[in-house]
Structure 1
Amino acid sequence: MSGSHDALVIPLWIGGHAYLTMVQEFCEVRDAASGEVLRRTPLAGASEAQAAADAALQAKPAWAALAANERAAHCVAAAEVLAGYAEHFAGLIGAESGFDAATASAEIAAAVAALYGASAATDAVTAPGVLALVAGRGSPLAAPLARALPALLAGSALVFRPSPHEPSALFALAEVLAEAGLPGGVFNVVHGDEAAVAGLCSAAGIDAIACVGEAGFRERVAAIAARHGRSLLA
Structure 2
Amino acid sequence: MPFLASSVLIVVGLVVRMKLEESPEFEHTKAAGRIVKNPLATVIKNDWRNILRVISLRIVESCAYYVTATYLLSYITTNNPADRAVGLTGIVIASLLAIPVTMLAGALTDRIGRRKLYLGGTVAVIVFGFPMFLLSNTGNPILIVLAFVIGIGVIHATFTGAQAAWFAELFRTNTRTSGASIGYQVAASISGFAPFLAVLLASVFGWAGGASLYVLVGVIGLVGVLNTRETWGAKEQAEVDAVIAGGTPVVTQTASPSGR
TM bucket normalised to smaller: under 0.3
Larger radius of gyration: 2
Question: Which structure has the highest helix share of the two?
Answer: 2
TM-score by length of 2: 0.24
Q: Which has the higher contact order (CA 8 A, sep 6+)?
A: 2
TM-score by length of 1: 0.26
